[in-house]
């Protein structure tokens, strides 16, 4: 399964309803499971990004469905980064000429 890093910010709606955010996180975890995704790590952060999640998904289509479904609820804006392990990185650069 591929790994993805989600950089997440609350929208105005999301921050207005901050008290519901823990239950939304639980619902997001369940949504991921239904789509074959696993929320491996979740962090609330300080700075220009409100939250960071590490998600494992079977493919790009599954993570796209996951992120689009979350975003459609109106509480979050998400930047999705596909992540490569150190081993994958070493394999990629080993083939460079």
What pLDDT digit, counting tens, does each position of 75-89 carry? 999 999 999 999 999
pLDDT at 97 over 80: no
| Edge-to-edge strand ranges of the sheet holding 38-44 | 38-44, 51-57, 2-10, 76-83
Reduced to 3 states, what is the DSSP secondary structure of residue 51?
Answer: strand
What CATH number should be reported for the domain whose range is 2-94? 3.30.70.920
pTM of the predicted model as reported, rounded to 2 decimal places:
0.92
pLDDT tens-place string over residues 59-76: 999 999 999 999 999 999
């Amino acid at each position: 399964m591929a790994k993805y890093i989600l950089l997440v910010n609350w929208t105005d709606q999301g921050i207005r309803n901050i008290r519901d955010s823990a239950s939304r996180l639980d619902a997001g975890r369940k949504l991921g499971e239904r789509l074959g995704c696993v929320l491996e790590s979740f962090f609330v952060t300080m700075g220009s990004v409100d939250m960071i999640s590490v998600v494992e998904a079977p493919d790009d289509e599954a993570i796209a469905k996951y992120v689009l479904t979350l975003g459609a609820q109106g509480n979050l804006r998400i930047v999705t980064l596909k992540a490569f392990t150190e081993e994958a990185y070493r394999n990629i650069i080993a083939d460079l000429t």
